[in-house]
Structure 1
Amino acid sequence: MRKINNFLNKKIIKSLVAIIIISTLPACDKSPSEHLQGLTEDKYPVANMPNEPLETPLEINIEPKRLAMTSSWSAGVKDDGTLWTWGTDGLLRDTKTGQDPTPRQVEGVNDAVAVSGDGSHMLLLRKDGTVWGWGSNRYGEVDPNDDDTFIEELRQIKGISDVVDIEADTYASIFLTKESKVYYLGSNQWHILKNVDKDKLDAPFKISGLKDISRIEGSSGYILALNTQGELMTTYCIKNAVKVFDSDSNEICNIPFEKKVVDFAQGVADFALLEDGSVWSWGQNFNGEAAQGKTNGEIDIPTRIKGLSKVTNISSFAANTLDGQLYTWGHYLIGESPEPMASSMRRLHEPILIKNDIEVSSFSSNAYIAGFTTKNGGVWFWEGNRSGQRGTGEVVDTFYEEYVFTPEKSLFTLN
């Protein structure tokens, strides 16, 4: 159940650790332990690549976010600038039941550039640099001047303009402008702004000390930002990080690497892809979130992930290699999942191979659902589909391994 956020050691945990309730599982042909044993290295081999660098160094990934998911619906932006949605609730269009697992166009939007989602709200970036949001508004992440906790229509976010990158996370909206300035809107209950004595911000707040930024990711706990020189900056200073800015409101550190960072991802654990195709991670690893084996704790400093090399694209849960291999890690729900939920968790402490011959352009994920777009405009999903988030035209309420770890092509495409 990836990216449902709590906090530990001042960091947002983007995974709700599922409680294993084996005794409440309904009767079925196989026991839970037999289902879990179905995950074998023969079917899903563990990454075991030699430590070899890419022959041609990678460039910084500035691919726009074209696919987004919340815990109940998904959205995508096509090449022609139209916005499409599918799933349950938050669809910005009328349905008979509030649910539609088939991707359909949202009327009135033909100038979309990017979309980002997490938790239960989404952000939409338009060609004119304005940002629009919908969904959860509990901490004013869409409209701090509206007391409604859920915004059902597209609403422009005031106080921000000339935006080139967006990031939606639980209780948080983050913006990067064309002047490389980073702004934050949403919850401050975990003091992402150190000396701002408010749980909810009234307007987007500039994060001082972040300069020449090309990409952002973040949450209501901390922000990661990559500058144009390939240096990874953070508002949460980890061990061995170098402080480059400190003020009453913000503390900015540089996370040192020997080579240029070209891609990164924030999650329970954080990840950096270097120009040589190596992947490094740090942060929590109780359930394999950092893909560093069974360490049962925190990874204090960036550590290279063994067995992964010649990687060209990453997220906090997956990696794609130059030869088209797709690997994933972390924890996944396995077994039947009726209401109330009764399920087991499968912990993947090392990257496992789930698909070959795929060329990822960008990843996206949320609770129960993981997905990616491809270079040829395809959209794929794996993990869950309880609310129709895969966009295949059907709802599938199952968490068996064969379904969870099988990427499935969506009806939605980018072109």
Structure 2
Amino acid sequence: MRKINNFLNKKIIKSLVAIIIISTLPACDKSPSEHLKALTEDKYPVANMPDEPLETPLEINIEPKRLAMTSSWSAGVKDDGTLWTWGTDGLLRDTKTGQDPTPRQVEGVNDAVAVSGADHMLLLREDGTVWGWGSNSKGEIDPNDKDTFITELRQIKGVSDVVDVSAGIGGSSYFINKQGTVSFLGSNSWKLFNNSSQRIESPTQITGINNIVKIDGNAEYFLALDRYGNLFSNKCIEGTKLLSKNPQIQICKFIFDKKVVDISEGISNIVLLEDGTVWSWGDDEYSAQGNRKENVDQPEKIKGLARVVSVNSKSANTIDGELYTWGTFVYKSNHSPIGSTKDNIYRPILISKNINVKKYGLGSFADYSFIDDKGNAWMWGDKSDRGQWGTGEITEDYMPKEFVLSLHESLFNTHANK
């Protein structure tokens, strides 16, 4: 009888414990069992911050681009003006195999200011000249050279006094000079300029935008930010105002009630306002607006994200040091016949804390990268199979989810003494 009573007492105690645990769970739509599962298994919580503005408005982010990436190699600029490369091909230095996953200095460059990459790279130097290497299939580096890939640094003719550059996909190169005007070179196959030419054969000024301090674009359209926090584009959508339409190019202005301080063009476009709110539009899979199964036609505020201080097209960093990401990732899978699983993350998820992003990588290949406030470069995502991360290692084509959504420190550091 005593054994039976002890057994019953244990059962009662376990039941009471279960009741206590369930009763202390926050009220929500989930059942207690679902909520318990979420507490133990959800490693990547979805952004759910109160809609609170920053106490101090942000200033426009014109930090120089220090980190760039193509589909096969990467480049970085250090504080001392040196240029470093790593990955596969496009390294501007001799290797036995054309591949080196360890960042190494490029000889002869000690005056680098910024670097930007897509299928080609653009290098801005202290004297205001711009040099390029990589893909030249659309004349985005040297329209007079029929070579489709340029393996050495080549000065881009026709631009001077440049203060910022942007290399875009589709064979596009943008240049901002110290007067705040923007020039374009490369493909016109998507009719960025309204003429019949398939190429812009020499750097050509984009009329209708002035006082520009930041630009991000591709061969089809661009986002341009002026010194007053106004955002412009040649692609007019809902929520924009047509300013001018001339034989060359139309210009539209976005309508926001706050100053724009940062921009990132991509499959979906991201805008950061001075109050720390983040807005997006474009492809549903990359807009962080939830699984809407349709494109987001005009800028909308991303719910759950607030007090953000830095963004690119697939990530955001809050003033509290939280790092969020979204978009499409490919993981290793033992259950798929092709050995991989595609995962669309429709809402921003938290992947790390205590992070202070000084400058994100920009561009479709560099969007899962940043340099922190200590000068260290970090990477995540599913693009590391050609040594682009600079960790000294080359990974497999597909890696587990935990690897893809974890930060990996590159051997590249912007500080000259490391």
Greater mean deviation of Cα atoms: 393-402 or 176-185: 393-402
2:325 corresponding residue in structure 1: 328
AA at the equivalent of 2:303: K
Instruction: Tell me the distance in 2 between the aligned counterparts of 1:153 and 1:336.
Output: 39
- Residue-by-residue CA offset, 1:10-47 (whole Å, 9 max, x unaligned): xxxxxxxxxxxxxxxxxxxxxxxxxxx99x97201100
TM-score by length of 1: 0.87
Alignment of 1:140-179 (within 5 A): 140-170=139-169, 171-179=171-179
Residues 1:109 and 2:106 are matched in the alignment = no
Cα separation, 2, equivalents of 1:158 and 1:344: 45
Task: Give the structure, 1 or 2, with the largest relative contact order (CA under 8 Å, sep 6 or more).
Answer: 1
In structure 1, what residue type is equivalent to 2:288?
A: A
Q: Which amino acid in structure 1 is aligned with residue 191 of structure 2? A: H
Contact map agreement 2:315 2:368 (CA 8 A) in 1:
no
Unaligned stretches of 5+ residues in structure 2: 1-36
Shift of 1:179: 0.7
Is 2:378 aligned against 1:380? yes
Provide, for residues 55-100 of structure 1, a one-character-per-residue CA deviation record: whole Å limited to 9, x for no partner.
0000000011000000000100000000000000000000011000
Q: Deviations over 1:96-120 (max 9, x none)?
A: 11000000000000000000001x2
SS of residue in 1 equivalent to 2:402: helix
Q: Quick check: 1:65–1:362 contact (8 Å CA) kept in 2?
A: yes
Residue in 1 that maps onto 2:187 = 187
Letter in 1 for 2:106: V
Counterpart in the other structure of 1:244: 243
User: Deviation at 1:269?
Assistant: 1.2
Report the CA distance shift for 1:276/1:368 in structure 2 as closer, same or farther (over 3 A).
closer
- Matching of residue 231 in structure 1 with residue 230 in structure 2: yes
Tell me how far apart the structure 2 counterparts of residues 358 and 240 of structure 1 sit (CA, whole Å).
33
Q: How far did 1:135 drift?
A: 0.3
What SS does the corresponding residue of 1:403 show, helix, strand or coil?
helix
1-side partners of 2:392 and 2:298: how far apart? 43
CA distance in 2: counterparts of 1:240 and 1:277, whole angstroms: 20
- The two structures have a TM-score, normalised by structure 2, of 0.86
Aligned-partner residue type, residue 141 of structure 1: E
Conserved 8 A contact 2:360-2:367: no
Deviations along 1:282-321, whole A, 9 cap, x unmatched?
1121x2x100001111212211000000000000000000
Counterparts of 1:143 and 1:378, CA distance in 2: 33
How far apart are 1:240 and its partner, in Å? 2.7
Partner residue of 1:270? Answer: 269
Output the CA distance in 2 between the equivalents of 1:396 and 1:234.
38
Deviations 1:341-395 (A, max 9, x none): 7532100000001110010012115448721011111110011310111111111
Q: Which moved more, 1:100-109 or 1:363-372?
A: 363-372
1:227-281: CA deviations, max 9, x gaps? 1110111110111311112210111111100100111111111111010000011
Task: Tell me if 1:54 matches 2:54.
Answer: yes
Gap runs ≥5 in structure 1: 1-36
Call closer, same or farther: CA 1:76–1:402 in 2, change over 3 Å.
Answer: same
Task: Describe the superposition over 1:137-160 as per-residue Cα deviations: whole angstroms up to 9, x where unpaired.
Answer: 000001000000000000000011
What residue number does 2:5 align with? none
Question: How has the CA–CA distance of structure 1 residues 301 and 368 changed in structure 2, closer, same or farther, with 3 Å as cutoff?
Answer: closer
Paired amino acid for 1:175: F
Cα distance in 2 between the residues matched to 1:202 and 1:343: 42
Partner residue of 1:88? 88
Q: Name the one with the larger helix percent.
A: 2
Equivalences, count: 372
Q: In structure 2, do the counterparts of structure 1 residues 234 and 366 end up closer, same or farther at CA, with 3 Å as the change threshold? A: closer
Structure 1 counterpart of 2:385, one-letter code: R
Does the 8 A contact of 2:370 with 2:377 survive in 1? yes
From 351, 360, 365, give the equivalent of 1:363: 360
Task: From the superposition, tell whether residues 255 and 369 of structure 1 become closer, same or farther in structure 2 (CA, over 3 Å).
Answer: closer
RMSD value over aligned CA atoms?
Answer: 1.8
SS at match of 1:215: strand
In structure 2, give the amino acid aligned to 1:376.
Answer: K
| Separation (CA, whole Å) in 2 of partners of 1:217 and 1:317 | 14
In 2, distance between residues paired with 1:107 and 1:359? 31
1:87 & 1:252 partners in 2: Cα distance? 38
Q: Distance in 2 between matches of 1:257 and 1:227?
A: 14
Partner of 1:26: none
2:351 aligns to what?
Answer: 354
The 8 Å contact of residues 369 and 389 in structure 1, kept in 2 or not, is answered as no
Q: SS state of the match for residue 273, structure 1?
A: strand
Residue equivalent to 2:303: 306
2: CA distance, partners of 1:301 / 1:169: 22
After TM superposition, give the deviation of residue 336 of structure 1 in Å. Answer: 5.5
Aligned to 2:31: none
1:319 aligns with 2:312: no
CA contact (8 A) 1:44 1:354 kept: yes
Evaluate the alpha carbon distance shift between residue 413 and residue 163 of structure 1 in structure 2; reply closer, same or farther with a 3 A threshold.
Answer: same
